[in-house]
Structure 1
């Protein structure tokens, strides 16, 4: 298949542009995109474990452990043992973390709004549906090769 007909190239280019824009957006808050993603989830799921946070953010538990260590060292999150499951650490935003998140989210959500503004509501729904179909096709192709 010629390179110009490979949809992966277009998907990757769009993803790279989005990530570059988000990196620039969250940088004034002193955050990386993975740190921003973790704080965003923590704002909605306070007390979540590191393993659960990793699953929601689609990263490995090891990668999330590094993100959480950096956020904890900077005072943006705090971790404490779960009251019943002593080996599980609950993670919560600190006030400093909430402030950083608010700055980063205002800037990052503007990028996502710019994308949404380019599409009608029907087009946004169609794009989500098409991307979901792409995900399924990728998973099926990967399984067939395994």
Structure 2
């Protein structure tokens, strides 16, 4: 733990009086400026972009009563029906505890249905209900608009290159974990 140092002036022997602190605020750059721009670390820029996309997605889906993590769970269950909660957690980068809460809420709302695994009866498998599929479609329509905004200014080749690069980064770094 670092210790604050106080500038003192000696007015009388043995007594110290702190000098008034000088408050200067550093300029916080906006996204796209300084280290938050092209000169920033790639990892930071990815995180910054993710945070901006997630916030925009949260706002886009709010009136549907769906959060960004719930959308991720619905999307994965649509793509891969019959996943266990643990599988969903791995695919959505959420903790098993968070996925447990999301699954309980989506099940309570009638968006997903649990069925026991045919061989391993203790494993619960999750699938979308018709209500869940309808909810996901409404979400996807909005998220696709956001996706279109993300690729504005990119030609098809650049978009493919970026998608390939992002998927490659994830695959390469995952192998090391």
Shorter-normalised TM range: 0.7 to 0.9
Which of the pair is proportionally richer in helix? 1
Q: Indicate if the aligned counterparts of 1:27 and 1:104 stay in contact, CA closer than 8 A.
A: no
Aligned length: 140
- 1:82–1:131 Cα change, 3 Å: closer
Instruction: Give the alignment's TM-score, normalised by structure 2.
Output: 0.68
Structure 2 unaligned runs (5+)?
A: 1-33
The match for 2:75 is 40
Alignment of 1:75-94 (within 5 A): 75-94=110-129
Larger Rg: 2
Distance 1:135 1:49, change over 3 A: closer
Q: Deviations over 1:55-96 (max 9, x none)?
A: 111222222111111111221111121122101111011122
For the pair 1:53 / 2:119, whether they are aligned, the reply is no
Partner Cα distance (1:78, 1:85) in 2: 17
Runs of 4+ in structure 1 over 6 Å off: 136-140
Instruction: Report which stretch shifted further, 36-45 or 5-14.
Output: 5-14
Contact 1:81 1:87 in 2 (8 A): yes
The equivalences for 1:1-146 within 5 A come to 4=35, 5-7=39-41, 8-131=43-166
Q: What's the Cα RMSD here?
A: 2.5
| Structure 1 stretches lacking a partner, 5+ long | none
| CA distance 1:111–1:73, change in 2 (3 Å) | same
Task: For residue 10 of structure 1, report the CA deviation from its aligned partner.
Answer: 3.0
CA–CA distance in structure 2, aligned partners of residues 130 and 37 of structure 1: 21
- Which of structures 1 and 2 has the larger relative contact order (alpha carbons within 8 angstroms, sep 6+)? 1
Give the TM-score of the pair, scaled to structure 1.
0.80
